[in-house]
Amino acid sequence: MINLKKITALALSIAMAFTVVSSAAFAVEILPQKQETRYNDDYLESVRKLIKQKYSGSITDEDLNKPTVEEIFDTLDNYSIFYSQREFDEFMNSLGGEVHGVGISVEQIGDYVTVINVIEKSPAQKAGILNGDKIAKVDGISVVKSKLDDVVARITGEVDTKVKLSILRQNVSGEITFELKRAKLDIPSVSYEIRGDIGYILLDMFSANAYSGIKEALSYFDSKKVTKVVLDLRNNPGGLLDQAVAVGKLFVPKGLITKLDYKDDKLKDEEFYSDLKTIKYKLAILVNEKSASASEILTGAIKDTNAGVILGNKTYGKAKVQSVVPILTPEAFERLNKGSAEKTVDAFAFPYALDSDLLGWAKMTMGMYYTPKGECIDQKGIEPHIYVKEGSISADNIRVNEIKPLNVAIKPVLNTKCNDVFSAECILKLLKYDVDNPDNILDKKTVVAITKFQIDNKVYGYGVLDYCTQNLLNEKLDKLKETQDAVYVKAVEVLKN
């Protein structure tokens, strides 16, 4: 039978059609080309009927008059899409905070794809792979001067299968070869810390581990008697509805969190409530134009119930909610519907349908959500209580909250091209050193700035972005995020009044 996981109860609230695109070797899956499938008129008409019944959006018969299932779903809104089984599995794994692979993030640096991060408890960490290792071979085949995507494609694969990586390591002669078994890896969506008397939480996405991550953060704050909390939802595109509701129950006072209105009359509209009797935290929510969908569900509930103050810029404005439907193959459609007057491609109608009976999965916009006060924010967004222009206080073109810490994986020198150089130049610019607009190339002007930074911090000044210098820059970045992030600084001011 179909492995439903939690699919029957799945509701997605995410801002854009989700695609897995990353430089991380544990996150990228190269999908095989689809084989051509032949569809008869009865089958395609059943697909169109399903869309008319469930799709919450404007669509005409002419729009749906396409020759393939993929093309039919392509005519719907930007949030609706048809997935092959493998594409759907990757999509679900991403929402679940789970990826498959060996546990490394990589970046193209010169002729080599280089490890810039190793996930804790991953196969790569257990084997002894380190930041800065250069990948020379994959399964005995040289990948020197190969494109990043090609190398990633060779490293990725099915769980429990093996891959051999031959690497070059600084100060070690010759290649070191590791045999790694690919595995399922959990990627947290929540990070948190205490800044003075403020508890700061960054939520990247409402994946399946969002609630547990927020709960862990709040428990830590409780242990330190921290009651002022900043929840940063900037650039959070949404995710799972149930996670937005679960997080809402931690902050929203007793009452309605959101209402979901389905297009399909056969689906019962849903209301989600909090039973929180007492608001425990003085809360500030940070949002921007990329805070969307599930982020807006939580933000709308906080704003409508006066459970916190919203700061930043108007949110994205997406109240559409997606759910998924398994679609039968033409062969399974004929077999399972045999003798039925009302034929359907919806595999949910057949409890004993097998995985092999599925052509794939349709993610469709099926409803709209409303805030506790009954507002639909679609294409309007949520206005913050306090508008704050996003960016650093001293350099408005740099969003300090988006600067990534340096990975301390390699030691960039003149003309090195990598993302760590971009981060270093952003930090140096905010610290008032003379660098050009940040890019990822370490030029002569940046070498001079690094040298001056090193001398100012009483370390050897020679313009190389060595590990000591990177760690110093990361320490400065931590302070800059507390003092230069204009939205965060205003939130702290509000919480302390």
Residue 6 confidence (pLDDT) above 50: no
pLDDT at 149: 85
Number of domains in the chain: 4
Q: How many CB atoms lie within 10 A of CB 453?
A: 22
> How far apart, in whole angstroms, are the C-alpha atoms of residue 364 and residue 59?
13
- CATH value at residue 283: 3.90.226.10
Q: Is residue 66 assigned to a domain?
A: yes
Q: What is the mean pLDDT of residues 85-111?
A: 84
Q: Are 287 and 384 in contact (CB under 8 A)?
A: yes
> How far apart, in whole angstroms, are the C-alpha atoms of residue 34 and residue 98?
24
> How far apart, in whole angstroms, are the C-alpha atoms of residue 321 and residue 338?
33
Two tokens, residue 310:
């919203």
Residue 490 confidence (pLDDT) above 70: yes
Please, which contacts does 219-226 make with residues 24 or more away whose CB atoms are closer than 8 Å?
220/192, 220/194, 221/192, 221/194, 221/281, 224/194, 226/194, 226/197, 226/198, 226/199
Q: Are 96 and 208 in contact (CB under 8 A)?
A: yes
Query: Of the candidates 91, 95, 98, 163, which has an alpha carbon nearest to the alpha carbon of residue 127?
Result: 163
pLDDT at 2: 56
Q: Is residue 178 assigned to a domain?
A: yes
Residues 46 and 130 in one domain: no
pLDDT at 3: 54
Q: Is residue 392 assigned to a domain?
A: no
> How far apart, in whole angstroms, are the C-alpha atoms of residue 451 and residue 456?
9
The 3-state DSSP class for residue 103 equals coil
Q: How many CB atoms lie within 10 A of CB 111?
A: 12
* Radius of gyration for the alpha carbons in the chain, expressed in angstroms and rounded: 25
The 3-state DSSP class for residue 308 equals coil
pLDDT at 36: 57
> How far apart, in whole angstroms, are the C-alpha atoms of residue 186 and residue 213?
12
Q: What is the largest CA-CA distance in the chain?
A: 83
> How far apart, in whole angstroms, are the C-alpha atoms of residue 78 and residue 379?
13
Instruction: Answer with the one of 166, 186, 206 that is the final residue of a domain.
Output: 186
Residues 289 and 199 in one domain: yes
Residue 25 confidence (pLDDT) above 50: no
* Lowest-pLDDT range of 1-5, 321-325, 489-493: 1-5
Q: Which residues contact residue 484 at a Cβ distance below 8 angstroms, ignoring those fewer than 6 apart?
A: 392, 393, 394, 400, 430
Residue in the block written with tokens 């760690």: 471
> For residues 187-211, b (16+ Cβ closer than 10 Å) or e, as one string?
bebbebeebeebbbbbbbbbbbbbb
Q: What is the pLDDT of residues 339-356, one digit of tens each?
A: 998 999 999 999 999 999
Question: What pairs with residue 326 in β-bridges?
Answer: 361
Instruction: Quickly state the pLDDT bin for 13 (edges 50, 70, 90).
Output: low
Residues 256 and 383 in one domain: yes
Looking at per-residue pLDDT, the higher value among 143 and 93 belongs to 143
> How far apart, in whole angstroms, are the C-alpha atoms of residue 167 and residue 175?
5
Determine the residue type at 114. T
Instruction: Quickly state the pLDDT bin for 22 (edges 50, 70, 90).
Output: very low
Distances (CA, A) of 428 to 393, 444, 450: 15, 14, 8
Q: What is the mean pLDDT of residues 24-49?
A: 64
Residues 23 and 92 in one domain: yes
Residues 307 and 207 in one domain: yes
Residues 256 and 136 in one domain: no
Query: Of the candidates 222, 280, 287, which has an alpha carbon nearest to the alpha carbon of residue 490?
Result: 287
Q: What is the DSSP string of 359-411?
A: EEEEEEEEEEEE-TT----TTT----SEE---SBSS-TT--GGGPPPP--SS-
Residues 311 and 325 in one domain: no
pLDDT at 86: 83
Residue 34 confidence (pLDDT) above 80: no
Residues 222 and 305 in one domain: yes
Domain that holds residue 312: 190-319+371-387
How many residues comprise the chain?
497
Q: What is the pLDDT of residues 286-343, one digit of tens each?
A: 999 999 999 999 999 999 999 999 999 999 999 999 999 999 999 999 999 999 989 9
Residues 88 and 161 in one domain: no
Q: What is the mean pLDDT of residues 66-91?
A: 91
Residues 64 and 47 in one domain: yes
Residue 156 confidence (pLDDT) above 60: yes
* 3-state percent breakdown (helix, strand, coil) of the chain, nearest 5: 30, 25, 45
Q: What is the mean pLDDT of residues 369-377?
A: 97
Chain center to CA of 445:
35
pLDDT at 393: 84
Q: What is the pLDDT of residues 177-226, one digit of tens each?
A: 999 999 988 788 999 999 999 999 999 999 999 999 999 999 999 999 99
Q: What is the pLDDT of residues 378-426, one digit of tens each?
A: 999 999 999 999 988 887 779 999 999 999 999 999 999 999 999 999 9
Residues 303 and 326 in one domain: no
Residues 129 and 261 in one domain: no
Q: Is residue 393 assigned to a domain?
A: no
pLDDT at 1: 60
- CATH value at residue 477: 1.10.101.10
Q: Which residues contact residue 348 at a Cβ distance below 8 angstroms, ignoring those fewer than 6 apart?
A: 8, 325, 326
Q: Are 234 and 485 in contact (CB under 8 A)?
A: no
Instruction: Quickly state the pLDDT bin for 171 (edges 50, 70, 90).
Output: confident
Two tokens, residue 353:
């349908």
